[in-house]
Amino acid sequence: MNDYRHLKKMITDTVASPGLTRNNYKSFKSRTKLLLDEAVKKGWTLHQVWKSTWLFLDDGKVVGGTYEHALSNQAHLARTLSTHKEATKLALSTIGVPVPAGKVYEPTDLQIAVDEFAGSTRAKIMKPSSGATSTAVSLSLPDEDAFIEAWSLIREKHPKAKILVEDLIEGFDVRVIVINGKAVVAASRVNPFVIGDGKSTLEELVVRRENDREKSAYLKRYRTPIDDSFLQSQGKNRASVIPDKDIVLLNRSMNVTGGGESINVYGSISSELLSLAEKAASALPFQPIVGVGILTTDLTSRVGVVLELNVQPHFDLHHYITYGEPVNVAALEIESLAAETAVGPVHRLQNDHSLSSFTISLDGPIEIRMSYPESTKDHY
């Protein structure tokens, strides 16, 4: 079971020890608005087709556009793959990228899944096998009753979805954005937390935390719910005096809606983990912008496991980062579109190699076949 020690150590190393404070933002913009502003800076003219769709014109010629925050250089096949977890894992496996061990079940295979769960010694995580959201994901499956409850929750929210059960791997989440083959930003989304001062109770620390978050237009939209049972699992309650520099997590959510925050870790993460993100993104060689989710036990580690790929990453996370320097990812994305406009679609495989074939079927059993020209096999 995840005891969050790796996450707490990372927060200590990156926030508590250097004494970082929250960034305060007087205002914030939607992802679409961030992209539109950068397109204007390029000298492009904006033309709104309808509510969420914009075209970019340069000297009267269309050079691209965006639907919400999906730029026109997004590949449809890449989006299909990235929203289908089983297909994503298979595509990553073909290039030797480590992924969590797991199995996909039909929605009607509950008894089979329960029997296999009962015979396993590994902690498990359960989630729908398709979809880009974190809804109906169960992080704690201590017994068969919890397993069945999680299964029922997924069936309720996603009646037709297959169900993915994976080994629960220790560590914390790092989100890397890769643009044209290069990892350009890295951030960790973290559970809401407080840092002890050796004299204040947890409740007093929470009050100060919420008051501080009120200074940021980006954070103050959401109050932080306190999960008392989660506190108890850490040996704490609201009246506990928290030792100096100790980290206490307030609930299990990493999302901003649950009070979660973010840390810019690009300057701390190992080159090996950035290379892993770049290799994972190459599973979608036809897609210029890829968000890669990595699970690792330490930012300095040379190894990690890739959790997911996302061709429409929520890049505003980096614009409105809680701790560390914000990064203008919208400008980097617009530059990637400008580069393709100037020279045609950018070759995204190293050494100018290209795949000889890529075959995927999403009907019935998932099958992906990727083959390379003979001269490039050693490279991959």
Q: What is the mean pLDDT of residues 174-183?
A: 98
- Mapping DSSP to helix (H, G, I), strand (E, B) and coil, where does residue 79 land? helix
Q: What domains lie within the chain, and their CATH numbers?
A: 5-100+169-187+260-339 (3.30.470.20), 101-168 (3.30.1490), 192-258 (no CATH)
pLDDT for position 135 = 54
Cβ distance 314 to 329 under 8 Å? no
pLDDT reported for residue 115: 96
Look at 69-83, 149-163, 358-372 and tell me which has the smallest mean pLDDT: 358-372
**Which tops the pLDDT comparison, 333 or 127?**
333
Work out the average pLDDT over 2-6.
Answer: 85
Distance CA(334)–CA(245), nearest Å, equals: 41
Taking all residues of the chain, what is their mean pLDDT, rounded to a whole number? 88
Share of the chain above pLDDT 90, in %: 72
* Extended beta strands in the chain, E state: 45-50, 53-58, 61-67, 70-71, 102-105, 124-128, 163-167, 172-179, 182-190, 193-195, 247-249, 261-264, 289-296, 305-310, 357-361, 367-371
Q: Per residue in 312-350, pLDDT tens?
A: 999 999 999 999 999 999 999 999 999 876 655 444 444
Cα–Cα distance measured from residue 217 to residue 23, given in angstroms and rounded to the nearest whole number:
10
Please tell me the predicted confidence (pLDDT) of residue 244: 97
Residues 323 and 23 sit within 8 Å (Cβ to Cβ)? yes
Least confident of 12-16, 228-232, 246-250, 347-351: 347-351
Q: 380 falls in which pLDDT band (50, 70, 90)?
A: very low
β strands within 25-123, DSSP E? 45-50, 53-58, 61-67, 70-71, 102-105
Q: pLDDT, tens digit, for every residue of 143-161?
A: 999 999 999 999 998 888 8
Phi and psi, residue 236, nearest 5°? -130, 160
**pLDDT the model gives residue 134:** 52
Q: What CA–CA distance (Å, rounded) separates 266 from 164?
A: 31
Report the range of poorest mean pLDDT among 90-104, 192-206, 348-362: 348-362
Inform me whether the pLDDT recorded for 1 exceeds 70.
no
pLDDT in tens, 263-309: 999 999 999 999 999 999 999 988 999 999 999 999 999 999 999 99
The DSSP string of 237-275 is -TTPBPPTT-EEE--S--SGGGT-EEEE-TTTS-HHHHH
The pLDDT, as a whole number, for residue 129 is: 81
CA–CA dist 127, 124 (Å, integer): 10
